[in-house]
Amino acid sequence: MKIEIGQLAPDFSLYNTEKEKVTLSQLRGENVLLLFFPLAFTSVCTAELCAVRDNMKIYESLHVKPLGISVDSLYTLAKFKQEQNLNFSLLSDFNKTVSKSYGSLNETFGFEMHGVSKRSAFLIDKEGIVQYAEVLENAGKQPDFEALQVKLRGLEK
């Protein structure tokens, strides 16, 4: 399914690396940035998530809660988060249901892997409405963080 700007974001519940269930609808009242990424420990994914880590003060000042999502297990994501000193939650979509519902699932990926998340960014406002949607077909590219930050600054705090 393709996610459109202005639609209600599909709700979901996934476990984070601390083994706590995170439900999107329970985050209403907060702006949420969902960052789907293909695989932990890969170069572009590491660069992308470390850039979010290094710019966390910007996201905090704009009252945005980043959440990283991949199909990796929560144990793999916990190790990745620890090694990269990431300061935001990573969620495991091991069963691929959320990636699929956001139109962010590669049927085939490198090395004949099936069902890996596409690199994607979705900004969801306090009411649960999608304000920004970017799904990349090329896993070697990162979301347009400049365009995303412009949109972030336009949200009511």
The domain locations on the chain are: 13-154
Superfamily of 13-154 according to CATH: Glutaredoxin (3.40.30.10)
Write the CB contacts of 57 (distance below 8 Å, at least 6 apart in sequence).
Answer: none
Q: Among residues of the chain, what percentage have pLDDT more than 70?
A: 94
C-beta of residue 77 within 8 angstroms of C-beta of residue 92: yes
> Looking at residue 108, what is its pLDDT?
66
Write the CB contacts of 36 (distance below 8 Å, at least 6 apart in sequence).
Answer: 69, 70, 93, 99, 102, 104, 117, 118, 119, 120, 121, 122
50 an active-site residue?
Answer: no
> Looking at residue 7, what is its pLDDT?
96
Q: pLDDT per residue over 15-64, tens digit each? A: 999 999 999 999 999 999 999 999 999 889 999 999 999 999 999 998 99
For residue 64, give the 3-state DSSP assignment: strand
pLDDT of residue 77 exceeding 60: yes
> Looking at residue 141, what is its pLDDT?
86
Residue 133: strand pairing partners? 122
Q: Which of 3, 24, 35, 45 is catalytic?
A: 45
